[in-house]
Every structure is written in C-alpha cells, then in structure tokens.
Chain A
C-alpha cells in the first residue's frame, strides 16, 4: 500500500485493534510477551475470517459459480498482497504453504531432489529445529553433508568460519534472518552474496523477520524466503514460500493431487504451472485471504515509527533487566530486534515462567526449539520475552516488577 497514506503510529490506538490484548488471565490484565511464538490478531483479520465463513465460503480455482469466483479472486489478490509486501518480481513466485516449517520441508524435498551424493548444505548453529531437521533428513536420504556455522559468544554468527565452510560442494545455505531465541539479526545480504559467489542457493527463514522489518526479496537476492502468517498478525496454518521463478520451475512438485496438475491420464500426468504446481489439494483458503488482510493492515502503518517503537522497547527492557541482580542476557549481538532471552543465576527458567504466568505475563521458557543453541551456551533454556509493536514500556515495567517478585520468592 505504498500509495496509501500512512496512519500515524499511536500504540494505544493500535492496541484497540487487538481484542485479545484486553483480556485478563488469573484476574490480572494480560501482558503478552510471547510474540515470537505467535502474534495476536487485529480485529480486521478476525472480521475477514468471520465474514468468509459466514457468507463467502466456496472452493477456489474450479467453480463456475459466483461464490467460487469471488473466493478465487480474494485468494489470488492475497497472493498479490504478499508479492508486494516482500517485493517479489512475480506473483507466481509466492507459494502458499502451511507455515514456515512446511515451506522449509517443501524446499528440502523438492530442491533436495536436484542434489546428489557429496553435495553440501550449510545451516547455522542458531537455527530453529524446523530449519535443522528437514536438512538432516535430506542429507541422510541423499547422502549429503550438513555443515553448521558456529555461533559466537555474543550470539552472532561466526562469519569467518562460514567463509571457510563454503566451497564448490555447497549447494544450499539455509539460515535464519533473525534468531527466535537470541534476537540476533543476521547479515543475510552478505551471506547471500558470499553463497552466490560460491555457486550455492540460499534459503532465508523469515519467521522472525517478516513482522519486524521491511523485506525485499529482490534486493536481498535470496533464492527462497519462508514465513508463517500467524507470526505476522495472520491466522495459523498458513505461510508463504517465496522462490525465484527459475528455481521453482526446475524443482519437481511437492505433493500430488488436485490443483497441481495440468492433465491427468493413467499413463502420464503433466503438472500445472507456478504457483499451483506446489499447491496440491484445496488450500487453507481463508488462511491465504486473511494473510493478505494482515499484511495489508501492517502495510497501512508507519513502518519507521513501528521500528523505532520496537527498538525503544528492546533497549529499555535490556537496560532495566541488567539492573536486576543475577540476570544474564543470552544474545548480545550488535544487531538485535524484539527478543530478550535471559537466565537468572541459580533459578530455573521454568520456575520464573510459571510465576510470571500467574501474574498475567505470558513469556516463553525452555529451549525455544533451538536445543543445539542451548547446548552451545551450556544452559537448559532461557526465559524469553518477545515483543510486537503493540507492547508498551508500561507493560515492561509491570513485567520487571513481577520478575523481581518471582526472583524474591525463588531465592
């Protein structure tokens, strides 16, 4: 919505759009600091879902009737909204998936088919399990070698080591844009350029970046970019795989079924063109449509103001946390966004999370699906606060007070 006039950012006005933020838990006002896991939904997204099932429900891409055409148009318009949001060159480079995990598995399966024994895949030591396990499975299946970029003490990637790992054998580099556990923003543009020089393709896990920064896949020049709708104010069960047209065309289909075919006979089936080749079966229609609504909503806000607000929240939280005795922040990269992971000396993260919960504060504790990263830091897990633009400093103040009370009880 580049032509649309931006609405001035006012966090109280924004919060009014998110009904879940106004509920109570255990008799306390909810403070939702688990946005890295999933975001709350604005009313406009809820309304879209409600309206679709109330009066617009139909299957897409095959009906001759009015409702089917309307649903198809809405679904395909959502694809174009995604295209504009991530600045893809073509709308058929936008594949709707079940989510980030599904997108990565699709690439591992289909791009993986193009790889042969001895080829290498590079991931990083801060990946979510969903950007580790599909590659391990692929490497086992195709006799490939998996290499891992080490993580430095401050939570940044060891880029020198990455350059050493790159070779002619490297066929794919799959790294996260932003660490879900540490908040580190990785220099993906630099990584992509280095990988391309070595002749490798690059997949960027955008699960934690799509909601926090402008994404331009053409400028990044990434070959694949994946994200989940539910982390960017849309519904669960839907996500996006962006892939460059040429590579997607080269890849075999993922699953067989309706919608992905051009012609089926028992002798030979020919496949549909992009993006349908990768979208077998009736998709999560309203998931796609509501993803469009969510991204449209986000685009209507002042991105710079959002970025400023989120940076303020991050810095404020980190500074104040460090004033608390015994707190150690895990992940002190120079470039960070919206995630503060910490541990408290002598106290298990689970205990802190449980007591914060009883005070109305939702955080995540544990290994955050990054067990190798926890092992790297030699800790069982962390307490993680992860913010969205609707969080406030006042909430952080309440959180800090609740944290101090919890620590007092547990010491």
Chain B
C-alpha cells in the first residue's frame, strides 16, 4: 500500500464517525494497541518534551526502509502517534521526507498538530522527517 493509500484508508475509517466522542474512542483504542517503544530506548535524546504530554520516538533504517516506534504519557497523543506510524512505518526515507500528512486535517485532528497545542506531536512529525533526511544525507 502506498502512503497515499494508507492516508485514504484512515480517512475512510474515520468517515463512519460523525460524533467527536466516537472518533476519540477509536483514537484511544489505537493508542492502547500501539506497539510500545522499548523501555531502554526511552532516553532523553528520544524524548520530545511538549508543554503538556511527552513523546518518545525511536527510528531505525533497515533494508532501505524506515521503522519507527514511539510512546507518550497521554493516551490520545499515543493514538495519533499510532496513526502517524501506520502511515510512515516501512516507507523509504525519500517518501517520508516528501509526504504531506493531509489525513490529519481531513479527519479533524489538525488542532493536535498546531504549534500552540504543545503536546509534542508537531515536533514528533518533524523528528520523523528529520530521521528520514538524515538517512538521505
């Protein structure tokens, strides 16, 4: 599946919810299912300190593909991380670097990526892209 197809799949998944609470119920479930980053990898250099919640991100580059694991102390943040990883995990650095994550506004979650939200997610997206760019150097 291409990144674009994965984004469209998420948009379709969310289209069935017209109630905000149902949407968040789903995000929370995704957060609970997120494969966690190993405890030993929750180091300060992998920590993104948001004003409210904290996010850890670890990236690996194997066989031409990027792989990510992450965690957060807030479950909704984790749920959104799960969506980001679903889209970007296993992709090439080139694709990750140039991807426009348009599914986020499309499913109504853009507030979580605003610079003022301070939940670490915007920094996380930047971190994922920087990890991809580092590989491309």
- A residues in contact (CB < 8 Å) with B: 26, 347-351, 354-355, 358-359, 365-367, 380-381, 405, 409-410
A77 to nearest B CB, angstroms?
Answer: 37
Contacting B76 at CB < 8 Å: which of A26, A354, A380? A354
Extra contacts besides A350-B76, A358-B24, A405-B21 (9): CB < 8 Å: A348-B53, A350-B52, A351-B28, A354-B24, A355-B76, A366-B51, A366-B52, A380-B54, A409-B25
In the bound complex, residues from chain A placing their C-beta under 8 Å from that of B53 are 348, 350, 380
**Most A Cβ at <10 Å: residue of B53, B54, B73, B118:** B53
Contact indicator A350/B77 (Cβ below 8 Å): yes
The verdict on A349 contacting B52 (CB below 8 Å), with A354-B76, A409-B28 known, is yes
The verdict on A358 contacting B21 (CB below 8 Å), with A349-B52, A365-B52, A366-B52 known, is yes
The verdict on A26 contacting B52 (CB below 8 Å), with A350-B77, A409-B25, A409-B28 known, is no
In the bound complex, residues from chain B placing their C-beta under 8 Å from that of A405 are 21
**Most A Cβ at <10 Å: residue of B51, B73, B76, B77:** B76
In the bound complex, residues from chain A placing their C-beta under 8 Å from that of B24 are 354-355, 358, 409
B74 at the interface (CB under 8 A from A): yes
The verdict on A410 contacting B52 (CB below 8 Å), with A350-B119, A358-B24 known, is no
In the bound complex, residues from chain A placing their C-beta under 8 Å from that of B75 are 347-348, 351, 410
Contact indicator B51/A351 (Cβ below 8 Å): no
Contact indicator B52/A381 (Cβ below 8 Å): yes
Selected A-B contacts with CB under 8 Å, 8 pairs:
A348-B74, A349-B52, A350-B74, A351-B74, A355-B24, A355-B76, A381-B52, A409-B24
Contact indicator A348/B73 (Cβ below 8 Å): yes
- B residues in contact (CB < 8 Å) with A: 20-21, 24-25, 28, 51-54, 73-77, 118-119
A351 vs B74: C-alpha distance when bound (angstroms): 6
A366 vs B75: C-alpha distance when bound (angstroms): 15
The verdict on A351 contacting B76 (CB below 8 Å), with A366-B52, A381-B52, A409-B28 known, is yes
A359 vs B53: C-alpha distance when bound (angstroms): 21
Contacting B20 at CB < 8 Å: which of A26, A380, A410? A26
A26 vs B21: C-alpha distance when bound (angstroms): 10
Shortest Cβ-Cβ A-B pairs, 9 listed: A348-B74, A358-B20, A350-B74, A350-B52, A366-B52, A350-B53, A351-B76, A351-B74, A354-B76
In the bound complex, residues from chain A placing their C-beta under 8 Å from that of B76 are 350-351, 354-355
A114 vs B57: C-alpha distance when bound (angstroms): 49
> Which residue of chain A is the closest to B32 with respect to CB atoms?
A410
> Which residue of chain B is the closest to A380 with respect to CB atoms?
B73
In the bound complex, residues from chain A placing their C-beta under 8 Å from that of B28 are 351, 409-410
A348 vs B20: C-alpha distance when bound (angstroms): 19
A351 vs B52: C-alpha distance when bound (angstroms): 10
A351 vs B20: C-alpha distance when bound (angstroms): 14
**Most B Cβ at <10 Å: residue of A348, A366, A381, A409:** A348
In the bound complex, residues from chain A placing their C-beta under 8 Å from that of B118 are 366
A307 vs B128: C-alpha distance when bound (angstroms): 52
In the bound complex, residues from chain A placing their C-beta under 8 Å from that of B51 are 366-367
B64 to nearest A CB, angstroms?
Answer: 36
> Which residue of chain B is the closest to A349 with respect to CB atoms?
B52
A349 vs B52: C-alpha distance when bound (angstroms): 8
In the bound complex, residues from chain B placing their C-beta under 8 Å from that of A348 are 53, 73-75
A184 vs B62: C-alpha distance when bound (angstroms): 55
B77 to nearest A CB, angstroms?
Answer: 7
> Which residue of chain A is the closest to B27 with respect to CB atoms?
A354
A347 vs B72: C-alpha distance when bound (angstroms): 12
A365 vs B50: C-alpha distance when bound (angstroms): 13
In the bound complex, residues from chain B placing their C-beta under 8 Å from that of A358 are 20-21, 24
